[in-house]
Structure 1
């Protein structure tokens, strides 16, 4: 069976477009609600980027394990909520512009600190999102197994809590 190209799927364009519009509106509203400080920290942009990192990493990790959700539905949710909403919410270009403007404005130390904090916190919250998603997926899998009358899952479970590497992290390494 040949796999169809996502570029020829108009439904994917629609969910990404709608998700992107939603994410962009949320980012704009966060920018209005959380103004930048005089010290060069743009907390609206930082909040939007961190939220997007957490949600997208968590969503991707959860959907990668959610074999109980139909593949087409997983694809649409991943593209619409992940790529669309989180992509519209996060903004590398604004982060770069704010850092560059700070450097040109004579606040190089503060601007570089802002950029460093943004990247480090982004990685940390993405990791937290993956860990939360792993716990949710493991719980969901256990509920489904118990409901099916199988108290133990005899299959290999890569999200086992004794394994320090999550299944999403394992996939990222491959």
Structure 2
């Protein structure tokens, strides 16, 4: 039985994450969780929702990670990644520059995506976490010349975090089984 399942939105995110997670199910559920039926969750497995996101606040850079689970954030930071522990807001659309500050103020979130909330609604009481690599920021909007570089940086970061995700899941699943 797998101790970890990783859900992502896009196939390119899935490709990046699978590079560091051989043997772990990495499932693309589509933007906005268009295909929830693809998400097969074995009993007892931990769930990580991972992929790219947009920063809502200044101080985050492309490739930085936003993680909602404190233990996982500390573990990633201890392995040399730039990590911000905090909330990832949910949106049903790509958030433009004008909306970022309002969404951050209303939710207290550091980043925004379109899938995490929908996937986590399927998690039940299993261990779960959200890990998002930043592509765009308030000063580097998604529809700009820096997007390609930010995207490549974020995908490389996702490809590198696999061993830490696996260790976190193993620890969490053992805690639940005890």
TM-score scaled to structure 2, two decimals? 0.26
Flag the structure with more relative contact order, 1 or 2, with Cα contacts below 8 A and sequence separation at least 6: 2
TM-score scaled to structure 1, two decimals? 0.27
As a proportion of its length, which structure holds more strand?
2
As a proportion of its length, which structure holds more helix?
1
Larger Rg: 1
